[in-house]
Amino acid sequence: MTAAIPPTARFRPKASVLVRELDGEAVLLDLATGRYFGLNATGLRIFALVDGERSLAEIGRRLGAEFAAPPEAMAADLVELVAELEREGLLLRLE
């Protein structure tokens, strides 16, 4: 993980964000701002796991198992996406 987002950090989607899945990809719509954000299949899985209960480390391990990849290989992409979704106001950091 990165210094800016520790592996123990937990996030949850902002209450005003709707998710619509289509053919394994998704569109997030923030009803508060009217902004859209697209996710591929991996991004959709990450978004589904970011529920406020799991830390980024836990999510990374789970993704590694699901995609048969070492957790470290998933960590950079995980942190990058979570950081971007936080910047866009779609995720809220809980700790």
pTM higher than 0.85, yes or no? yes
Distance CA 26, CA 43 (A): 8
Question: What residue ranges do the domains of the chain occupy?
Answer: 11-89
For residue 1, the model assigns a pLDDT of 45
Pick the CATH number of 11-89 from 3.30.9.10, 3.30.565.10, 3.40.50.300, 3.90.930.60: 3.90.930.60
For residue 67, the model assigns a pLDDT of 86
Cβ–Cβ under 8 Å, residues 74 and 60? yes
Q: Residue 16: count other Cβ atoms within 10 Å of its Cβ.
A: 12
Cβ–Cβ under 8 Å, residues 38 and 25? yes
The β-bridge partners of 68 are none
Q: Residue 72: count other Cβ atoms within 10 Å of its Cβ.
A: 10
Q: Mean pLDDT per segment of 10 residues, for the chain of length 95 residues? A: 78 96 93 95 94 94 86 84 95 91
